[in-house]
Structure 1
Amino acid sequence: MNQNQSFRQLWISQSIANLGDSFYILAIVTFIYNRTGSAAFAGLFPILRVCAQAISGLAAPLLMDRLRLGTLLWMAEMGQTICFGSMCILYFFLPSQWLIPAVLFLVFAISMLHGWAIPVRNALVPRLVPSHLLVKANSLLATSDQIVLLVGWSLGGILVAEWGVIRVLEITAIMMFFSTLALLFVKDPSANVSAQPESQKRWDRMKEGWITIWGNPILRTLSYMEIISGLGESIWAGSIILVFVKEVLHKGEDWWGFINASNFAGTILGGLLIWKLSKKIENRMLFTMLISSFSIGVLTIAFTYSSNPWFALGVALIMGPPYQARSIAQRTLLQFHTPEVLLPKVFAAFGTILFVTFGFSVLLMGWMADQWGIRFVYMSTAGLYVLSAFLTLMMMKKASRSIQTQKEERYMNKIE
């Protein structure tokens, strides 16, 4: 009962934090652009954010060895609350020439703290829910994330336009405070995660998650899929999808928003379906990943060669469920196949992989679009997801051989 209450408070806390985060992103990008008049300068925000989160994932294991996960998550959320409050105060008291550098510094700090929070949240979930409810819990969190992002991006733009940047940042600081407050009721039932001697070198502790991934064939294959996911998801980045809408669909920025909203709606629908079918999926996660990856590849090809905007809108909606199913199954497999004591560090390593891959991919896909056209980018992405399906098939064959070997060993033991 206490675990259910703790998971509920974690869910509430992270939903509030994600809504505040979407408001903050819109407010800061608007603020930087209005102050500098430079789109390139405003583009520093996502780059700074990705770099900080990647660095955070590398450094996080040092804190995970010293602090309980619940405490670390609380500290990360409280630190973000303080940073948001500091932004609002500095706006009124800092000279204008120092305001942009100060804001960018705080953006870096917030992103570092956010980079700690993500793997900690994902590692906490298996501790707070029974294993047979893990798929359902992951689908609930993933669906909530998508709903919050959809609401945040839709409502945030209106709030920034009507109330201004500072008022939205004040709202964000208040939301983060309530998110932090909810975490006080999350009780981590496990002991401190550190299983290593105090004398262990810092570098050894930082690379422990990476060594675990490389030494476990399932985790290693999942890391390859995470790289593919990071490369593939960049097709939904603003600059890439905007080019597709203009050059292929011959529509304006409004259809850019429609396509994104349709994909968001699809992922929400997918999360609800996974939640409903969680009992069937929990024993067929590899099969779910296989079908989802192949479906994404096929649907991406259909999306690539769609010239009718309404058809593209429908395909974007249909792509949502397999995206969500693949993501939830992959996260649940990682939780199942990683020792609890190492799970936070493994999630931190996976986070770094995703952030670095995604940041690199946005630049790579932009260059490829300039060189060979936007349709080549989407066809390449389709190929990546077909490759992901092939990797999943290899995992299924290895798992099948392993089960057969175990059966043969049990049979031989009975004979003896």
Structure 2
Amino acid sequence: MTSSGAQRARALDLLSRGDMAGGIAGLEAHVAGAPDDAGAWLALGAAYAAEERWADAARALARGVKTGGEEQIEARLAYARALVRLGRLDEAAAELRRGAAIEPPDPRALRELGVVLYDLRLYDEAARWLARACEAAPEDARAAFALGLAHEARREIAPAIAAYREAVRRAPSFPDARLTLADALASIGEHERALGELEALLARERSHEQAARNREVLQRALAEMRARRLLGKTERELARSALVMEAQLRRREARAAPATAEGAAARQIVRYTAPLLELHVTLDSPNNGPGSGAIEALHLALTDPDRAARAEDDVFKVTVIGEDGRQAPVSYATGASLTLVREAIGCPMTQASALYTSLLKGSPSVDWGGATLRFASVPGTGGAPGGERHGLLVGQRA
């Protein structure tokens, strides 16, 4: 072994025995005389990183990358990680792109590139690279978790939840995945499923304080939602709602609902009216007299849509928060619709506004808290042809 090789071996031995200062000094001396030793630069960079000397680590690892060699992908990954520690995210992304271009692509490079792009708020590109990472490493829970974060940042909650579920499947003991999955489920009103994820986490880690706190919050929120929501209640609760009382809706005729399937339980639709709107209430199995059936769906239809859209809401007194943070009054039509959503599913007004806005922007339907919202038509009075009423339908999810 040459003297340079012996010096390198001694330095690496010192590092393996925990003598960081001696090992670093030895490697510094070695690379001064052997500047093309890529492995030595990588070892030196790793030693600097272990000491959190990130600027020194980046310089050493950059030399390791430049000199190349069999460990080039390791050097690129380590160099990119040092750049991230220094806050040089654009440079880290560029280095990881080069690493991801090496065939076959290293799943770590794919995942770490996706994470850096996420930190740069390039969410679409991050999602693409993280999806590749998930395919390349089918058991990498952190890649699936990061993909969920990217989807959620893009306001795509369904694929985000799917990715978080995949992260949990890959690593059932990964607490961040279950916590974030529970948060995502709660954000769409799936409190029961969110609680299930927290219970599963606490079954594994009984002392997990954040999960225990989140469980308490969700339990209270679920109880409040169940107490407030009209779906599943009866006409007695409906009569006390703001929708009925503020609009001064009056109960009119009831009719049998069309059978949905042979042998299905009887249903009834009750019509309520006010000067500008109608409310059609679908009741499940009202066999014990008026007011006994459980509410399955509420359909709000405007009888004069143009007038309702022009009139300012001075009945429901709803305000919304605009994108500029200011409160703004709404039309009578919007006030009635938001009140319906809020009371039907028992959610806060801010959530009702977000769901209603999603429909206005073109979503065919929106699911939240076991309910489905969509625009639909119902027959007019007496079911006469051409007398349909178009409006907002909120019902129990099938």
TM range (shorter): under 0.3
Q: Which has the higher strand share?
A: 2
Q: Which has the higher helix share?
A: 1
Q: Using structure 2 for the length normalisation, give the TM-score.
A: 0.21
Q: Which has the higher contact order (CA 8 A, sep 6+)?
A: 1
Structure having the higher Rg: 2
